[in-house]
Amino acid sequence: MTTGALIFAFDNEQTDYVSMAAWSAKNIHRHLGIPVAVVTDYENPPGDFDYVVNTQAQSGGTRYFEDYNQTVTWNNASRVDAYTLSPWERTLVLDADYVVASSDLKTILECDTDFMCHKTSVNLAGGHPLTGLNVFGRHNIPMYWATVMMFRRSNTAQYIFDCMNMIRDNWQHYRDLYQIDKKTYRNDFALTIAVGIVSGHTGQIDQIPWPLWTAMPDTVLTSNGPDYYTINYLDNNQKPKNMGWTGMDFHAMGKRHLENIIASH
């Protein structure tokens, strides 16, 4: 069974997602030892990619980024096409801003399951679940995260991605149905709704057996060496804190800080 990683990378007014994907590909090769395909609108993107899948960017609307203090175009609506665009039989779909710093993801690639993703995101600053971000809609529906998804070609995986396509293409209807206030399309919301539909509204799907560790935009993320990272932040009492870790994957929500790290390497 062929196995590889798939990263979607479409730049906007502020963020160079292609450079992020190229840096991530190096980490994936180093830690996971699998090939990497990038989905982008660049014909010849820079980076050590094994495959380049060219397609047009699909906007999900606009989104405000705290670290940029700016609203930018959210070119992230094509993730639902991962099933049809992937060249692999078993695919690891990763956000361009997900930092692979260990071999942990090999574990889920070896699992005998059709689909896996994270259900809980945890703030690295303090180690608490991101309560407000782990739910969506007026009724606080528990959310699955599309930041990391593993799927193998199967009926279950195809049903999930087909449903995500349907939800994206009929986003206003699902916004109304689930009472989602913000207009911007989110892959996380679409994934959660799709999992509900495919599972007969039980919401049961195999989960990645560790939390989605997250560095939030209001923390200052730096790198002190290969796979060694530090965040500086203010605790609930507005006291300066810092913590460092090595050999642990995480989601860098502060795009500007991650870009600075990539530029320094």
pLDDT score at 31 = 98
Nearby residues of 7 by Cβ (< 8 Å), 6 or more positions away: 21, 24, 25, 36, 37, 38, 39, 93, 94, 95, 96
pLDDT score at 61 = 74
pLDDT score at 53 = 96
pLDDT score at 37 = 98
How far apart (Å, rounded) are the C-alpha atoms in residues 65 and 254?
8
pLDDT score at 157 = 98
pLDDT score at 127 = 81
pLDDT score at 156 = 96
Measured CA to CA in angstroms, residue 249 lies from 80, 94, 225, 264 at distances of 23, 12, 14, 19
pTM: 0.94
How far apart (Å, rounded) are the C-alpha atoms in residues 173 and 22?
36
Profile the chain (265 residues) by mean pLDDT over runs of 10 residues. Answer: 95 88 98 98 92 89 72 83 97 97 97 96 89 88 96 98 97 95 93 95 90 94 94 90 95 92 87
